[in-house]
Amino acid sequence: MDEKSNPGTLSESSECLFSFGVIADIQYADLDDGYNFQGSRRRYYRQSLLHLQDAIEEWNKESSRPCCVLQLGDVIDGYNAQYKASEKALELVLNTFETLKVPVHHTWGNHEFYNFSRDYLTCSKLNTKSLEDRIVHHPETVPSESYYAYHFVPFPKFRFILLDAYDLSVLGVDESSPKYQQCMKILREHNPNTELNSSQGLSEPQFVQFNGGFSQEQLTWLNEVLTFSDTNQEKVVIVSHLPIYPEASDSVCLAWNYRDALTVIWSHQCVVCFFAGHTHDGGYAQDPFGVHHINLEGIIETAPNSQAFGTVYVYPDKMMLKGRGRVPDRVMNYKKEKALHL
């Protein structure tokens, strides 16, 4: 086996502590292949389920099984809603996830809201908040019920935080609600186009209807969790459907208020990396504060003869993403001054 295919051999001085799987934008639908909105990239709607099965098979047979899989959102495609096939498609995908021998944490993306309301999602198996960790005597680290976010500890001293990038959004909320009015106001203030999914002419192209953002309440909670993690000398992995770092993403795919999220994250030492989906063609950049931003290549735009998922191997001084198919390998060193001593 060469070095690339076994990250364990790349870290001679230390052993792998644990690993986790990552996968994004499955967007399954029982439809013939199609294209993205611009007509430039092929979408493999049926094949996506086979790609998921393939990923699960590989994770299940890894010699040291991943502790969990992070599903980065858009599990079924919005087209299902048009064909009244949302529940059937979701059932198929969730049945496939049932064959995974480790827990999966589901993130919500725009396609979840094309198919279902927020209330429906909250009551569905796509709500994996029951897997959250509660920190005793720190009520400020308990998330509010008004957004879908939580944190958990898969291994001592490593905290994972799942964010709700559609906490501020016009998707999935009742049009008569004050929240819808507030979010539509934000969107219209930044996007004068009649078609709100169009970013044409925008100085801030992320202000489109298929994106969303983080409420101040969620950002305050994130800040509290990161404060606890700093104090407890933890390493933190954050996941969200929408990316937040412009150099790692097409600007039209960013969260509306990505700068606010970055401001919170940059005021803490503990964050190692930020995983997002949505862009489909992937991206990576390390920001000036040493946080690694990884936008995972989407399953939906992955040809039958390829793959798009990864396993992240966690070491005392770094994390290493072993990508499959379209997903490249990445080494994510921890910030120098704060290497973890176990």
Query: Which positions lie near ligand LZXBYLUK, rule CB under 6 A?
Result: 36-37, 74, 78, 110-111, 195, 197-198, 210, 253, 278-280
Closest separation between CB of residue 300 and ligand LZXBYLUK, Å?
Answer: 7
Q: Which two three-digit tokens encode residue 264? A: 């919170």
DSSP 3-state of 193: coil
Amino acid, res. 64: S
CB of 277 to ligand LZXBYLUK, least distance (A): 9
Q: How far is the CB of 278 from ligand LZXBYLUK (least distance, A)?
A: 5
154 versus 243: smaller Cβ distance to ligand LZXBYLUK: 243
- Minimum CB separation of residue 274 from ligand LZXBYLUK in Å reads 18
Q: Are 72 and 310 spatial neighbours (Cβ–Cβ below 8 Å)?
A: no
**DSSP, res 298:** P
CA gap 239, 118 in Å, rounded: 19
CB of 46 to ligand LZXBYLUK, least distance (A): 16
Q: What CA–CA distances, in Å, run from 75 to 31, 36, 39, 299?
A: 15, 16, 21, 10
Smallest separation, CB 308 to ligand LZXBYLUK (Å): 14
Determine phi and psi for 124, rounding to 5 degrees.
-95, 175
Rounded Cα distance between 58 and 210, Å, is: 32
Q: Tokens representing 7?
A: 């990250």
The residue nearest ligand LZXBYLUK at its CB is 197
* Six-digit token string for 292: 């690694």
Among 164, 136, 133, 134, which residue's Cα sits nearest to residue 67?
133
Judged by beta carbon, residue 79 or residue 313, the one nearer ligand LZXBYLUK is 79
Tell me the C-alpha distance between 24 and 306, whole Å: 15
Q: By C-beta, is 48 or 110 nearer to ligand LZXBYLUK?
A: 110
Query: Quick one: 143 or 172, whose CB is closer to ligand LZXBYLUK?
Result: 172
Looking at the Cβ atoms of 133 and 195, the one nearer to ligand LZXBYLUK is: 195
Give the residue with the Cβ less far from ligand LZXBYLUK, 25 or 234. 25
Calculate the CA 82 to chain-centre distance.
25
Q: For residues 61-71, b (16+ Cβ closer than 10 Å) or e, as one string?
A: eeeebbbbbbb
CB of 116 or CB of 210, closer to ligand LZXBYLUK: 210
CB of 177 to ligand LZXBYLUK, least distance (A): 22
